Structures are given as structure tokens and as C-alpha cells.
Amino acid sequence: MEEQKLIHRILKKTSQSFNDMRTVILKVRNNALSFADTVLEFGIKLIRNNRSQLGSQQFIVLEELFNAAIDLQLYYIADKCLKKLKANFPDSPKISLMQVVLIEAAGRTEFFDTQVAENLSQNLLDYDTKKRLVAQQRYSKTDGAQSNFVQKMNTYLEENPNDGEAWLELGDFYLENLNYPKALYCYEELILLYPKRYIYMTRVAEIYYTMGADSDLLNARSYYSFVLNRMSNNYRSLWGLYQTCKKLKALFPDDQKNNQLLETTTQALKAFYKEKGQLHLLDQLDL
């Protein structure tokens, strides 16, 4: 990704200018990148030394600094950022949600329900807060919490069917609990929402492969093949297709289409390991 390359070029400099630091934080924000340590360092420097130069962008820097501090479990820094933002935007629903995030991350569960209730009393359509309330049930140790999570998440998704993050949360939960048909449904919804995020197609293929029936293996082969048709260097899918074709060959040894695919994936994997100088691994990998 070009944005990541730009950030790495900036980080290689012996020192970074005001524009360098601001650029990194904006690139991280606009492209959903993960550079928490860097954002923390640059964010603190910008807020301390360059606040007047930032103008209204200081609030963007404070928000990204808050997120980085949460990721790094530096909750006292996150709290300071939140106080500055709240002083400028006292009635912002986004700031209220950030308050919930901080309380939850810091494990201050005694305040969580109170803050959630306050947010929802101000805005009954605050779906971000509702989602966090539901998601908390997934990790609760109380009796019945997980079944409660499934019920509430399904209700939430009935109201917000386009929330990919919620579908992913529910799909991951089903996978953890080996409920493959329901996990499959969640990931297929994600494909409808994000048809160019091939990681979800790969995940669907893996679920079909794990389910293992003849028809499931054929579906897995189709999904893996589709991903590789779009991204020939997706080696996760290449390995998946290789393993799937091997299983299908044991079931249908005379299937010429499958035998040809198996040969193609085998040669592609050999070429990959040869390029990496790891040909010695081929014997171990049964290629």
C-alpha cells in the first residue's frame, strides 16, 4: 500500500518535521492503518509543541492519540485526550462513545452500564453504543451471557443489516463455537457488503473445507479459485486450493478438471518456495 510505504519513508528519516508527523497521523486515520507507537509519539509532540499550527486539526490528532493510547493500554493518556475533546465538544455523541470505549478498555465495569444508559437516554438511535453493549456479552463470564450475546446481536443486525463489523463479530463467535453453518451465513453476508475484500471469500472457502462433505469441498474449490483468479499471489488461498483438490482427488480420482487444478497449484507452490530459496521444505510439505 502506497500510504504505508510513505509512512515507512518518513520513519526512516533521522528526524521528522511538523508536516511529516501530521502526514503520518492523517494517513493512519484516513486509511485505517495500525501504527500505534508512532501515532502516540508524534501525537504527543504535536499537541505539546505545535497546537497552534494544527488549528482545528488538533482535534483529529487528539482522537488518533486517544485510539493509540487505548491500543497500547495507556489509559491515563487516553483519559487526558478525552477530557480535552469533551471540553470542546461537550454534547458530541462520538465523545460519549469514546467514553464507553475507555471505560470498557480500562476494565472499569462498575461505570460501564451507567455510561451506556446515559448515552442511550440522550439518543435511542445510538447504535454504536448498543453494539458495544451487545459485544460485551460475548466475553462475559456470567451464566447465559453467550446465548444472550447471540440473541441480542441477531436483534441488532435485524435493525442494522449493513453493519459489517457486527456480522464479523457474530461470525467469529460461531467459528469459535464450531457452528460452521451459521458462521458461513455471517461471512456470506460480509461478501455481499464487501465484494472486493477477498479475505472473507477465503474464510468462506475454509469453512466449506472444514465442513468436508463432497458438495462442501466443491464449493471450497470454487471460492478458492475465484480469489486466486483475482489475486494470484494469495498464498493462503493457494494452499487452501491445493489441500481441497487433494481431498477431491481421493474422492474423484478421474475428475480431470480437479486433477489439472491440483497440478497447477502444485507447480505454483513449488515456484513460490523456489523463489524464496526454500526448496528444501518441499519434501516436508509433500509437494
- Compute the distance between CA of residue 161 and CA of residue 143 in angstroms, rounded to an integer: 28
- Compute the distance between CA of residue 235 and CA of residue 2 in angstroms, rounded to an integer: 21
Rounded to two decimals, the pTM is 0.65
Interhelix angle 235-251/256-275, rounded to 10 degrees, is 140
Query: What is the chain's Cα-based Rg?
Result: 24
Angle CA(38)–CA(36)–CA(24) in degrees, nearest 5? 45
Confidence of residue 115 (pLDDT cuts 50, 70, 90): low
Over residues 228-252, mean pLDDT: 93
The residue extents of the domains of the chain are: 1-74, 196-277
Note the CATH architecture for domain 196-277.
Alpha Horseshoe (1.25)
- The answer, yes or no, to whether residue 113 has pLDDT greater than 80, is no
* Structure confidence by residue, pLDDT tens digits, 21-39: 999 999 988 887 888 999 9
- Compute the distance between CA of residue 135 and CA of residue 128 in angstroms, rounded to an integer: 10
Helix (H), strand (E) at residue 87 = helix 75-88
* Structure confidence by residue, pLDDT tens digits, 45-75: 999 999 999 999 999 999 999 999 999 999 9
Sign (positive or negative) of CA dihedral 218, 195, 169, 158: negative
